[in-house]
Amino acid sequence: MAEAKELVTEYQAVYGRAPDKSVLSEFFWVFGERGPLQVPAFESQMRNMRNYEASMERYLHTKPLFNGYSAFLDYCFSDKEEQNDA
């Protein structure tokens, strides 16, 4: 999770905005809504594993750690905001 959070915060620092979901294709399991994959980068990531059917079955039967991408971004920026307030 630390790697995903670092990617988001560094992206924000460089580009001045939060990354699009597709930038986090390696981490979409933690925030992705279960169902058909809507983001091509997520589909590509699943196919890269060479066990698409098994991975998709597992994905569909697990619960994400966050209730959507916005909740994930809130988590990523929460410590940064607390540090800025200190």
Amino acid at 72: F
Residue 64 has pLDDT above 60, yes or no: yes
Q: Which SS3 state, helix, strand or coil, does residue 1 take?
A: coil
58/80: higher pLDDT: 58
Kindly state the average pLDDT of the residues 48-68.
90
Question: How high is the mean pLDDT of the chain?
Answer: 88
Task: Provide the token pair at 80.
Answer: 């940064």
What is the DSSP secondary structure assignment for residue 61, as one 8-state letter? T
**Residue position matching structure tokens 């991408």:** 69
Angle (CA) 52 54 60, round 5°: 95
**Is 16 within 8 Å of 51 (Cβ atoms)?**
no
**Is 76 within 8 Å of 3 (Cβ atoms)?**
no
Give me the pLDDT at residue 38, please.
86
